[in-house]
Structure 1
């Protein structure tokens, strides 16, 4: 039995994208405890106390602020049409949507495009690097982690001079994001054999899709091309 356990311990990492899996799992467990103790209960209280139309307006308002940074990154990625359409979204929602509380632009078929500096780095050829789980922040890659300071600098919420307003908006954004995942994360934890692996694979797949605007390059399978 001891030899069998030693053999299992010496098996190399099952996923080359996650060379720091042991550390990542520990941080994942810490984040899970933090979520169960503080963030999830706060998000549930947010849903129970704040009426749905108000939550929707808050979500739209925060999204309108986020569109500004998306527009900047679309421009950095030389996506002319996306840059112009996102600018139009901001103008329409700001002036016709009561400062962004109403999402008038989507009804006008100006679809939302989420872009960040991690995607911009990916567009210019920077590889994602190893998968990493950050305390509080959650799943990331080395590339996305290095992009965090730039994303924070470009975040309009962080530009508020009044600390109380800035902190209130930041906390509200966390509640808005977490409340939208209440049922999803519960299902993952209940159904997935290994929630850590499920979250990791889902995150990496989504980020690749984000970088390539939903059309990641196909991986050529040489085994299928072999002729008998």
Structure 2
């Protein structure tokens, strides 16, 4: 596995051959979000304060760090493994089981990894974009992170070891994690205002966020250009003019470059997941 970690990262795909299925799955996820999931997240925000939510987020970020640690090893990255392990130990002890984040104050930032990014660094192509009911955006490659990462996820371990509790209470920590994750996305919902095709927005945002994660926040320029569908002759003024024409037409026909609906998700983790619909 360490040898495989030296493989070249495959070029990102920009086509969408499964769009027909994906749009149906997106519509289902959007309906589930509007009718149930978002309402629960809004209720969670009403009964908690920002400080309380920050503490809960810190706890779940820390408790799921072993997923990153395991993938650091699979990627053949000993320095990253030491960094994430040190962060986990500091926050678990000094940070009181992770409720506080002294590691970040010490400059030990967490670069989250999963089995999807591990496969990417082994050279596995991302495959077609895929929307999974209730799980949201992924790809034919990244979808494997859901079952594999559960093997190292303490929340999943707890649910397995405590199976059989009344009302399936063993899943309560996982449910609280998902609710807290969705509540963070509420602040980013304003990004959807004026978006003429939310499906394309989520698709492009996911692809962009994954590229930055796979390349540890520093993707090559040519990879970004390929993802955005531009080349060395790209004229930003032409793109801005298309945007102005689209706005003047009231959002009738979509602009030539679908990538204009995407956002730079490196500025905020929440920006990539404002809803479960994508």
TM-score computed with the length of structure 1 as normaliser? 0.86
Structure 1 pair 102–165 and aligned structure 2 pair: CA distance change class (3 A):
farther
Structure 2 residue 183 is the aligned partner of structure 1 residue 176: no
Q: In the TM superposition, what are the counterparts of 1:131-170 in structure 2 within 5 Å? A: 131-160=129-158, 161-163=161-163, 164-170=168-174
| SS in structure 1 at match of 2:151 | helix
- Matches of 2:232 and 2:177 in 1, distance apart? 46
Q: Contact (CA 8 Å) 2:117, 2:213: kept in 1 or not? A: yes
Runs of 5+ unmatched residues, structure 2: 1-12, 226-230, 235-278
- Matches of 2:23 and 2:95 in 1, distance apart? 43
Residue 123 of structure 1, CA deviation: 0.4
Of Structure 1 and Structure 2, which has the larger fraction of its residues in helix? 1
Instruction: Decide which of 43, 46, 49 is 2:44's aligned counterpart.
Output: 46
Residue 58 of structure 1, CA deviation: 1.2
TM-superposition CA deviations, 1:135-185 (whole Å, max 9, x none)? 000011000112321012221100012244531111111111111010313
Structure number with the bigger relative contact order (C-alpha 8 A, sep ≥ 6) is 2
Structure 1 pair 191–91 and aligned structure 2 pair: CA distance change class (3 A):
same
Q: Contact (CA 8 Å) 2:41, 2:182: kept in 1 or not? A: yes
| SS in structure 2 at match of 1:19 | coil
Instruction: Decide which of 188, 191, 196 is 2:194's aligned counterpart.
Output: 191
Residue 71 of structure 1, CA deviation: 1.2
| SS in structure 1 at match of 2:116 | helix
Structure 2 residue 206 is the aligned partner of structure 1 residue 208: no
Q: Contact (CA 8 Å) 1:158, 1:166: kept in 2 or not? A: no
Aligned residue pair count: 209
Runs of 5+ unmatched residues, structure 1: 1-14
Q: In the TM superposition, what are the counterparts of 1:1-228 in structure 2 within 5 Å? A: 17-160=15-158, 161-163=161-163, 164-185=168-189, 187-219=190-222, 221=231
- Matches of 2:170 and 2:183 in 1, distance apart? 20
TM-score computed with the length of structure 2 as normaliser? 0.71
- Matches of 1:70 and 1:118 in 2, distance apart? 11
Q: Contact (CA 8 Å) 1:157, 1:166: kept in 2 or not? A: no
Q: Contact (CA 8 Å) 1:43, 1:178: kept in 2 or not? A: yes
| SS in structure 2 at match of 1:192 | coil
Larger Rg: 1
